[in-house]
Structure 1
Amino acid sequence: MAQLRARSSRLLTAAVWGSGALLGVLLLVQCFSEWSGDVQERMSNDLAYLPVTVLSAVLAGRVVRKPGLERRERRAWTLLMVSFLFQVVAHCVSMAQNFVPGLPTYPSLADYLYAVGLSFVVAGVLMLPVGRRTGAERVKLLIDSLIVVAGACMALWYLEIGPIVHMGGADPVVLVFSTAVPVLDLLLVFALITVLLRRAQAGAVVGLLAGSMAVKVVADSAFTIAYVQFGVFFKPGSWPYALWATAAFLALLATRRRLLQDQLTEVERPGRGRLGWLPYVAVVLAYGLLAFVAREQSLYPLGGMIFGAIALTALVIVRQMFAQQENRRLAVTDPLTGLSNRALITERLTEVTRQPVREGRHSAVLLIDLDHFKPINDAHGHEAGDAVLKAVATALRAVIRSGDTAGRLGGDEFAVVLPALPNRQVAESIAQRLVDALRTPVIFGDVLLNVEASIGVAFRDETTTDGARLLAHADTAMYAAKRSGRGQYRVYSPELDTQARDAELRAAVANNELVVHFQPVVDLSGGGNMAVEALVRWNHPTRGLLMPGAFIELAEETGAVIPMGEWVLREACRQAADWPEPVWLSVNLSARQVMQAGLVDTIRGILDETGFRADRLSLELTESVVLQPDEHTVARLSELRAMGIGLSVDDFGTGYAALSYLRALPVSVLKIDRSFVTGIDTDPEAYAVAEAVVRLAQAYKLHVVAEGIETAEQAACLVEMGCTYGQGYHFARPMPGDALTDWLAAVTPVPAAG
């Protein structure tokens, strides 16, 4: 099917360009040949046009029958198809008239058919779909179009219509039809200007149609003006006929292009009105013509009035242009900071993403969000917040380059668009200078307001096809900067995309990409009791084996830790079911999991599925659970404890948990963080702090597990303190389940250290 479509497209292209080449060849033959009579000239001219006009009508009919075409566009192309059909019939009638003597030569039936077909072109072009506009925008468009038409009308009246009307002795029918031709050209001008000013959809198609109409108007006007003003009559083969041929071929190309388009891919884009000068040009043209006509008049009374009218109109135009610039400035400026607003930033982003990606040319956007801005508003009022925002605007202006655009998107969020960068390091340098500049305190009355900013940097590349996506990438990088500690910048990379990585994490659970490693927890007193902590790893298909630090924080943030935690618990219990007794299994339980109402049922189901005993399982809680235990959390944990499951607090001392909170929770084990163990064998102060924590835990009747033991000396110190259990590289590193099975089979009870 694809081959057939490709072949059909090649045949269509060959037919279009072949008909155009034939038209050009016949025109050249007319230009350099001496015909024996007018009949041969007219016949050859009509024959030259027939292939192009017939093909235009056929292709327009196929466009009308295209599926998925919206109603307005289908009607527009129906009218254009009718106009092409009228041209075909007109050429055929023109040839037939050569064999019927006595028929009027001008206006002939063919001339009437041409004129009717022209009216269908105007209607069809005006009906082409455009983007939505407000009522005020439509009125402005109509006024601008009428200004241009009025200027053209003055020129055509002076050059064509007026002389035709005052032509003495002419047949009234000839006069009426000759006057109707420039009037139809005026309608074509109206349609042409309307299309250009409103920036219709499918720009290339409309551009070709507009070109066709413009060339035809020039040819019509040149033909008529030459005859009326200078008595020159052009014959087939002269340059106006070449222009008419060009107009016909441009219309054929427009039809072909629309037929080959699957949909309206070239949608309307925001712009600055590049053709907004057309109404002013029309005014200048009209007054120039008026001054030319009145050149022989004296300055009093007519000449002075004309020059005065020209001066007044020029002043009105200048005033309007300044008013438009001011309206534009107000429309794209943030009133508080004087920076660009979201509308202009969006426009600049669209311009940046519209440019092709090229080697050695870079563009970027910085998204800036102020840290701790809300407390300033709450503590000192909105006037203080406004002072901070103005100071931020001053800092932005001082740091960015002359061609960059800084704007306020809303609230305390700002953006900077950086086009035409020589390299990526320039954007990062600007981001760092902004971070440094925004650390400067803001003086508000007698108060110093301290504020910082987190900045996300995103570069234009093949993945950023629109401004919204580029800004979303900067937003992702900005939130990564906030998670990393605020007051810094981060450059976007796919790894920072939370949504994408969340989906990747969940897919890793579903695809069994996670693996469980185990690290023994030994009895420091020399008894035979032993526990094993389950530790998750991610066997990433492209990045290799990842440690928890590479993904656990993100999993907690997105909620992927819930299915991940269930998988780890199930897999660990499945493997631990075959371990010799007495070996306990310790599995981490995230804060998100504790908040789940169905936690108890989930754990009970996993134990039933794997056959692992509840009294051999211990669940490790994070300090965030211990810090603020609500009644539902306490109830769930108490129910787990009633099942025989042990509960412990992991990494105690790294956060803000207090021992007093432990009295509200049914925990039995406290795991002190490795930071308390480091240096206890060489630093008396470190030893004293660790001992205090151990003694306090014992006062609460909790077993103590020390993490991060790396030397025998550290183990000996912990035994002296009365610490019950230890875990660390001194005893064993984390290992896969099969390696742990071998280790358990070979290990003997560990004697008391020291």
Structure 2
Amino acid sequence: MAKLRAASVWGSGALLGTIGVQYVTGWGSDAGAEKLNDLVYLPVVLLTAALGLRLVQRGGLAPRERRAWILLEAAFVLQVVAHVVSVVQDFMPGMPAYPTISDYLYAAAIPFVVAGLLLLPVTRRNAAQRVKLLIDSLIIVAVACMALWYLEIGPILQYPGADPVVILFSAAVPVLDLLLVFALISLLLRRPQAGGAIGLLGGSMAVKVVADSTYTIAYVQFGFAFRPGSWPYLFWAAGAFLSLLAVDRRLREHGAVPVERRSRVRLGWLPYGAIVLASGMLAYVARGESIYPLGGMILGTIALTALVIARQMYAQRENRRLAVTDPLTGLSNRALIADRLAEMSRQPLREGRHGAVLLIDLDRFKPINDAYGHEAGDAVLKAVATALTSVIRSGDTAGRVGGDEFAVVLPTLPSRAAAESVAQRLVEALRTPVIFGDAVLGVEASIGVAFRDETTPDFLQLLAHADAAMYAVKRAGRGSYRVYTPELDTRAHDAELRRAVENDELVVHFQPVVTLAGGDITAVEALVRWNHPTRGLLMPGAFIDLAEETGAVIPIGEWVLLDACRQAAGWRAANPDAESLRLSVNLSARQVTQTALVDIIRNILAETGFPADRLVLELTESVILQPDEQTVARLNALREMGIGISVDDFGTGYAALSYLRALPVSVLKIDRSFVTGIDTDPDVYAVAEAVVRLAQAYRLHVVAEGIETAGQAAALIEMGCVSGQGYHFARPMPGEDLAAKLSSSVPAGRPGRA
């Protein structure tokens, strides 16, 4: 079917070629050429109308585009009727008076074409952009109107002795052509979708306007009438064939156009070109006027118009530059980066040509801002911009997309290794210290690399891939780069983690906290594990950071607290000696920011029956580092319920003991890094002892983590630490094993001030 249609289209086009033969050879009389001209048109216009009817009936078009093609189909049908009437007239005796019925039918088709062109889908614009485009279109049409008035309409209206009907119809033809010009210019400036078909249709209307204008101007200005088979007739034939090709092209495209097409041809100059044309016409008319008064005024008007155009074009260029430039660094801003990424995503995938985006996030930038002020931070950002521009090529785009986040778009790379080479050079360049006054500011960057391929249908997906790779670098230690792989897809892992909660794939293990002197169990810490269906039992390090990043840590944290409290309540019911046992559960930074945190914990305690004064919530240092008022209020509310507040892994971040005074903290857990080597290195011992003594001065109960030897335990007892946990005493174990262990161990009471 497709081959038959193609043969019909090109076969009918070949028939139109006989008009070209007439033009070249001059063969035949005028009457014969006129009849042949009308006859060869019939297959083309009939096929155009038939294919147009099939297009609007087939379905799959967007409603707006379908309405546009219905209007165009009405114009095609009128053209068929007009050509049939013209053929009949050719074989009737006598010459019909102008304008004939076919002339009226041709004219009646034009408003339908105009309406159809204006209704075709275009790139979406806001209200201000639509007003600007309307003004630009009207400028061009106004100049076209001046030209047609001077060359066609004015002389026609002044033609001596002509019939009024002939005068009015002859003047109406250029007016209808003006409407076509307006529709075409509006369509082109608004960037139409389905560019191939609409380009052909626009070309059809353009050559028709040129043919109409040439024919009329030659007659009214020079009294010359083109004979059938001359070049205006070639243009009319070309216009008819282009319309046929346009309908056939759109019919071969299935469904609505999926992507807004970006025109490669810049048409913003059209309004200015039209003004230049108008000025040229004024200058031509003024040649016959004296310099005083009219000639000088016209020349002055032209000069002023030229200056206004120059100023407007410069202002637009400057506004464009400011709109896409980051004012601090001078790099591209988020809008231009998005534009470059979208442009790269539209390019066809080719062998030996690769596109990539690098997403860059500065490591430890916030402490620089906090310690040295925003001027220091700005100096670092400017230095990063300089480093970026020194590494990338001239065709690449570097931009700042956030506070301390940058992006580099690499649209044309010879290989994937080239992108990794750029990423490695950027990692090294960004390690260069920044001198700010007397301070030397060190900064590094985590870089995520994502390549454009079949898995990235749009630039948003490409950015998401680069973002996933960048956060993978941060989780792995920062200061490096990583290329995206599907395993890094945080959204997929987030969904998997949330399903793990729903499918009861998580389990809680418990590690005892003991008195260092006697080894009695005084508390247990709840530690989550993931019993993955394919990867086996996973430790928290394999998924907690990702859960924190995606927000899945909130349902995970609630589930762990609920399950741990339920099991601990069961131990208390089965073993009276376990009533004094404390339960420590980790609380993530995201959980602390929950507005309903206090109510959630209160409901869990009520559901499980576990007493609030036996629960200790462990916070990370990121929570206690300059907490906001809401966080302090929530923690105070929990403390008033009797719940203990502990700081976990103290010493691994930026927290200082002075920050603890802002929070109702009761327990301080010293990180294992302070414990390792405590029994063999005097310096390590001194530092650990200082932390223990300072914590005790703040009346905090100290628990040492990561105790693995008897020597470490003895050293901690010597410096005054009462409690500890680690493999030396017991490894984390399932709740059933801990219940058995508790039945053979008697708790020593409270571990200290709660």
Query: Do Structure 1 and Structure 2 share a fold, with TM-score over 0.5?
Result: yes
Alignment partner for residue 621 of structure 1, among 607, 618, 622?
Answer: 618
Change beyond 3 A, Cα 1:225–1:255: farther
Change beyond 3 A, Cα 1:151–1:80: same
**What CA distance in whole angstroms lies between the structure 1 residues aligned with 2:671 and 2:661?**
16
Paired residues of 2:45 and 2:240 also in contact (CA < 8 A) = no
Matched letter for residue 104 of structure 2: Y
Partner of 1:234: 229
* CA positional deviation for 1:139: 1.7
Change beyond 3 A, Cα 1:745–1:241: same
Alignment partner for residue 135 of structure 1, among 104, 123, 131?
Answer: 131
Partner SS, residue 568 of structure 1:
helix
Change beyond 3 A, Cα 1:616–1:89: same
* CA positional deviation for 1:54: 3.2
Paired residues of 1:435 and 1:487 also in contact (CA < 8 A) = no
**What CA distance in whole angstroms lies between the structure 2 residues aligned with 1:379 and 1:272?**
49
* CA positional deviation for 1:219: 5.4
**What CA distance in whole angstroms lies between the structure 1 residues aligned with 2:498 and 2:552?**
6
Change beyond 3 A, Cα 1:364–1:188: same
Identity %: 46
* CA positional deviation for 1:249: 0.8
* CA positional deviation for 1:210: 0.2
Partner of 1:69: 63
| Pair 1:428 & 2:428 matched | no
Partner SS, residue 534 of structure 1:
strand
Partner of 1:250: 245
User: Counterparts of 1:528-547 in structure 2 under 5 Å?
Assistant: 529=521, 532-540=524-532, 545-547=537-539
Paired residues of 2:45 and 2:244 also in contact (CA < 8 A) = no
Alignment partner for residue 357 of structure 2, among 360, 364, 382?
Answer: 364
Residues 453-488 of structure 1 deviation map (CA, whole Å, 9 limit, x = unaligned): 756555352565555665676677778888999888
**What CA distance in whole angstroms lies between the structure 2 residues aligned with 1:672 and 1:568?**
23
* CA positional deviation for 1:435: 2.2
Change beyond 3 A, Cα 1:349–1:271: farther
**What CA distance in whole angstroms lies between the structure 1 residues aligned with 2:47 and 2:687?**
95
Paired residues of 1:30 and 1:236 also in contact (CA < 8 A) = no
Partner SS, residue 356 of structure 2:
strand
**What CA distance in whole angstroms lies between the structure 1 residues aligned with 2:659 and 2:89?**
110
Partner SS, residue 452 of structure 2:
coil
Change beyond 3 A, Cα 1:702–1:109: closer
User: Counterparts of 1:658-677 in structure 2 under 5 Å?
Assistant: 658=657, 671-677=669-675
Paired residues of 2:678 and 2:715 also in contact (CA < 8 A) = yes
- Which segment drifts farther, 169-178 or 130-139? 169-178
Partner of 1:597: 598
Paired residues of 1:270 and 1:347 also in contact (CA < 8 A) = no
- Which segment drifts farther, 80-89 or 373-382? 373-382
**What CA distance in whole angstroms lies between the structure 2 residues aligned with 1:111 and 1:470?**
56
Alignment partner for residue 273 of structure 2, among 280, 283, 286?
Answer: 280
| Pair 1:709 & 2:707 matched | yes
Change beyond 3 A, Cα 1:539–1:399: same
Partner SS, residue 114 of structure 1:
helix
- Which segment drifts farther, 227-236 or 418-427? 227-236
**What CA distance in whole angstroms lies between the structure 2 residues aligned with 1:177 and 1:425?**
69
Partner of 2:676: 678
Alignment partner for residue 459 of structure 1, among 425, 428, 450?
Answer: 450
**What CA distance in whole angstroms lies between the structure 2 residues aligned with 1:395 and 1:40?**
74
Partner SS, residue 680 of structure 2:
coil
**What CA distance in whole angstroms lies between the structure 1 residues aligned with 2:733 and 2:682?**
34
Partner of 2:313: 324
Change beyond 3 A, Cα 1:255–1:680: closer
User: Counterparts of 1:547-586 in structure 2 under 5 Å?
Assistant: 547-553=539-545, 555=547, 560-572=552-564, 577=570, 581=575, 586=583
Partner of 1:515: 507
Matched letter for residue 528 of structure 2: V
Which stretches in structure 2 are left out of the alignment for 5+ residues?
Answer: 748-754
Change beyond 3 A, Cα 1:419–1:321: farther
* CA positional deviation for 1:527: 6.4
Residues 358-417 of structure 1 deviation map (CA, whole Å, 9 limit, x = unaligned): 4542232555679768987998898x8877776666555545433334456687776554
Paired residues of 2:363 and 2:443 also in contact (CA < 8 A) = yes
* CA positional deviation for 1:426: 3.9
Partner SS, residue 63 of structure 2:
coil
Matched letter for residue 440 of structure 1: V
* CA positional deviation for 1:516: 2.3
Change beyond 3 A, Cα 1:28–1:491: closer
Change beyond 3 A, Cα 1:493–1:703: same
* CA positional deviation for 1:23: 1.9
User: Counterparts of 1:347-386 in structure 2 under 5 Å?
Assistant: 347-358=339-350, 360-366=353-359
**What CA distance in whole angstroms lies between the structure 2 residues aligned with 1:735 and 1:718?**
24
Matched letter for residue 317 of structure 2: R
Paired residues of 1:435 and 1:489 also in contact (CA < 8 A) = no
User: Counterparts of 1:387-536 in structure 2 under 5 Å?
Assistant: 397-407=389-399, 416-422=408-414, 423-429=418-424, 431-432=426-427, 435-436=430-431, 439-442=433-436, 450=441, 452=443, 457=448, 459-462=450-453, 465-466=457-458, 504-521=496-513, 529=521, 532-536=524-528
Change beyond 3 A, Cα 1:681–1:17: same
So what's the TM-score if we normalise by structure 1? 0.71
**What CA distance in whole angstroms lies between the structure 2 residues aligned with 1:665 and 1:282?**
74
Change beyond 3 A, Cα 1:323–1:452: farther
Change beyond 3 A, Cα 1:287–1:257: farther
**What CA distance in whole angstroms lies between the structure 2 residues aligned with 1:707 and 1:542?**
31
Change beyond 3 A, Cα 1:414–1:573: closer
Partner SS, residue 431 of structure 1:
helix
User: Counterparts of 1:329-344 in structure 2 under 5 Å?
Assistant: 329-333=318-322, 334=325, 339-340=331-332, 343-344=335-336
* CA positional deviation for 1:586: 3.8
* CA positional deviation for 1:328: 0.7
**What CA distance in whole angstroms lies between the structure 2 residues aligned with 1:727 and 1:458?**
41
So what's the TM-score if we normalise by structure 2? 0.71
Which stretches in structure 1 are left out of the alignment for 5+ residues?
Answer: 1-10
Matched letter for residue 604 of structure 1: L
Partner of 2:184: 192
- Which segment drifts farther, 118-127 or 204-213? 118-127
**What CA distance in whole angstroms lies between the structure 1 residues aligned with 2:86 and 2:529?**
85
Partner of 1:58: 53
**What CA distance in whole angstroms lies between the structure 2 residues aligned with 1:626 and 1:66?**
58
Residues 211-234 of structure 1 deviation map (CA, whole Å, 9 limit, x = unaligned): 221343455567779997586432
Paired residues of 1:519 and 1:734 also in contact (CA < 8 A) = yes
Matched letter for residue 431 of structure 1: L
Change beyond 3 A, Cα 1:190–1:693: closer
| Pair 1:24 & 2:13 matched | yes
Change beyond 3 A, Cα 1:607–1:424: same
**What CA distance in whole angstroms lies between the structure 1 residues aligned with 2:245 and 2:683?**
90
Aligned length, in residue pairs: 708
**What CA distance in whole angstroms lies between the structure 2 residues aligned with 1:289 and 1:638?**
87
Paired residues of 2:529 and 2:537 also in contact (CA < 8 A) = yes
Matched letter for residue 601 of structure 1: R
**What CA distance in whole angstroms lies between the structure 2 residues aligned with 1:465 and 1:236?**
47
| Pair 1:109 & 2:115 matched | no
**What CA distance in whole angstroms lies between the structure 2 residues aligned with 1:369 and 1:654?**
20
Change beyond 3 A, Cα 1:478–1:172: same
Residues 8-29 of structure 1 deviation map (CA, whole Å, 9 limit, x = unaligned): xxx6x57754642452365468
Partner SS, residue 192 of structure 1:
helix
Change beyond 3 A, Cα 1:707–1:176: closer
